[in-house]
Amino acid sequence: MTRVQEFVEVWTNGVGEPQRLVWRSRRFRVTDMPTALVGPCDWWGPFSGHDVTPGRVPLSISGWRFQASSDDGETHVFDVEHDGAHWHLVRVYD
């Protein structure tokens, strides 16, 4: 696993799932079912120090993990996150 912090271009379908990615001037097509990565909702921040038992912290989709391949067969698993304006590549698995 390589941890990176790079801007990438991501195209999504109508429900927000990644379909294509451009990384380092190479196009990759998603070749499996993307998995949503979840984290605490942004609005929960001020309450994060409170005990939530018996419930749990409210979650939202913070990014996606998916396998994608280039036209020449190079394949990686990517973790991407969106900050509201840009897509960021945070991990690449070989």
What are the pLDDT digits (tens) for 13-41?
Answer: 998 999 999 999 999 999 999 999 987 77
Question: CB 42: neighbour CB atoms within 10 A?
Answer: 9
Task: With beta carbons less than 8 A apart as the criterion, state whether 5 and 94 touch.
Answer: no
Percent of the chain, pLDDT > 70?
Answer: 83
Instruction: Give the max Cα distance, the chain.
Output: 51
Task: With beta carbons less than 8 A apart as the criterion, state whether 90 and 7 touch.
Answer: no
Mean pLDDT of the chain: 87
Question: CB 71: neighbour CB atoms within 10 A?
Answer: 9
Q: What is the pLDDT of residue 2?
A: 64
For 42, the token pair is 């942004």
Q: Quick one: pLDDT band at residue 74, thresholds 50, 70, 90?
A: very high
Tell me the whole-structure pTM to 2 decimals.
0.80
Q: Quick one: pLDDT band at residue 91, thresholds 50, 70, 90?
A: very high
- Phi, psi angle pair for 30, to nearest 5°: -65, 130
